[in-house]
Amino acid sequence: MAGVSRAVVDLILKYFVQTNPVIKLDAIQKTYHTGEVDVHAVRGITLNIFPGEFVAIMGSSGSGKSTLMNMIGALDRPTGGHYWLDGIDVSTLDRDALADVRNEKIGFVFQGFNLLSRTSALENVEMPMQYNRQRIHSHEQRTRAQQSLELVGLGPRADHHPNQLSGGQQQRVAIARALVNKPSLLLADEPTGNLDSQTSIEIMGVFQKLNDQGITIIMVTHELDVARFTKRMVILRDGKILTDEAVQNRSVADKELQRLRQEQQAVKLAS
């Protein structure tokens, strides 16, 4: 019974999803009232992101990308305009409803990984399921967390604590955590900011692989190299969209890694 209804839901979703954007921003604005001066961080952004897209949001500091990111992530509400996430008008929700949206619809990946220390990778990944409104049995939580870790290639290290893992591995745990509630959207904020170039490419490889499986990803970055792994680049300036175009000559993580290794080999031989 459950299997049948799930299949039906999937079918409906497939149809629904093909015609509707995951994210629909309509003239969205954010103004901070600090003292006498109003700061217009975001000044009317209209943007649609469809299922299966891999979008980089770029811009220098002060361009409004962090503010936009917070609003897309349902951490903050716009002061003007509307934002639909998966058909839900997020701009009208209260605090608790926003928390539920974050829990069910969005997976976060942060620059600083933001894992709980002295807590195993598996338990870190289980954490979002503890806050799921549909109660998930602890046995199922374990299974799903393990599957999620295997998806990012960390299955054997499930019982390691963050301080026993490298930066790249920690970020993979964070990605596994972001995916565990099967969100509509993976939101990454400078996910490679704390990583060396090889690890950065590896993480981008993980994202590309997930995107190939149909997961929608939005990534905020200020590094062009990193943005070139995505499919679409949105560049902001002064709270508005400057350019929005498809990525030409897209980088592929596997090839980039190979090239990097060859370069290292060459350097080694030369010295």
Partner 1 sequence: MRIIASLKIASRALRRNKMRSLLTMLGVIIGVGAVIGAVSLTSGATKQVEDQVSNLGENVITVFSGNFTTGGMRGGWGSAPTLTLEDTAAIRLLPHVVAISPEVRDRAQVLANGLNWNTQVLGESPDYPQIRNWDIASGSMFSDQDVRTLAKAAVIGKTVADQLFPNENPVGLTIRIRNLPFQIVGVLAAKGFNLFGQDQDDVVIVPYSSHMHRITTRTFVNSIQVQAENDKVISLVQQEITDLLLARHRSKEQDFTVRSQLELMQTVTATSRAMGFLLAGVAAVSLVVGGIGIMNIMLVSVTERTREIGIRMAVGARAADILVQFLIEAVTLSAIGGAIGIAGGVGFSRLVAYLKDMPTVTPVIWIVIAVVSSAVIGIISGFYPAWKASKLDPIDALRYE
Binding segment (CB under 8 A) for partner 1, from list 85-93, 128-136, 204-212, 261-269 = 128-136
- CB closer to partner 1 out of 36 and 96: 96
Binding of partner 1 by 73 (CB under 8 A): yes
Q: How many CA atoms lie within 13 A of 201 on its CB side?
A: 15
Are 63 and 234 contacting, i.e. CB atoms less than 8 angstroms apart?
A: no
Residue 135 interacts with partner 1 (CB under 8 A): yes or no:
yes
Cβ pair 98, 73 in contact under 8 A: no
| Stretch 216-235 residues interacting with partner 1 (CB under 8 A) | none
Q: Is 268 in the site for partner 1 (CB under 8 A)?
A: no
Rank residues 92 and 138 by Cβ distance to partner 1 and give the closer one: 138
CB 235 within 8 A of CB 223: no
Asked if 252 is part of the footprint of partner 1 (rule: CB under 8 A), the reply reads no
Name which position in 39, 44, 50, 75 contacts partner 1 (CB under 8 A): 75
Query: What's the alpha-carbon Rg for the chain, to the nearest Å?
Result: 19
Please identify, among the stretches 80-88, 103-111, 192-200, 213-221, the one whose residues bind partner 1 according to the rule CB under 8 A: 103-111
Residue 19 vs 134, nearer CB to partner 1: 134
Q: How far is residue 144's CA from residue 138's CA, in Å, rounded to a whole number?
A: 10
Residue 118 touches partner 1, criterion: CB under 8 A: yes
Alpha carbon dihedral 197, 113, 174, 249, in 10-degree steps, equals: -30
Query: How far apart, in Å, do the first and last CA atoms of the chain sit?
Result: 66
Instruction: Kindly state whether residue 32 participates in binding partner 1, applying the rule CB under 8 A.
Output: no
- CB-wise, 33 or 268, nearer to partner 1? 33
User: Rule CB under 8 A: is residue 198 a binding residue for partner 1?
Assistant: no
**156 secondary structure, DSSP code:** G
Distance CA 265, CA 216 (A): 35
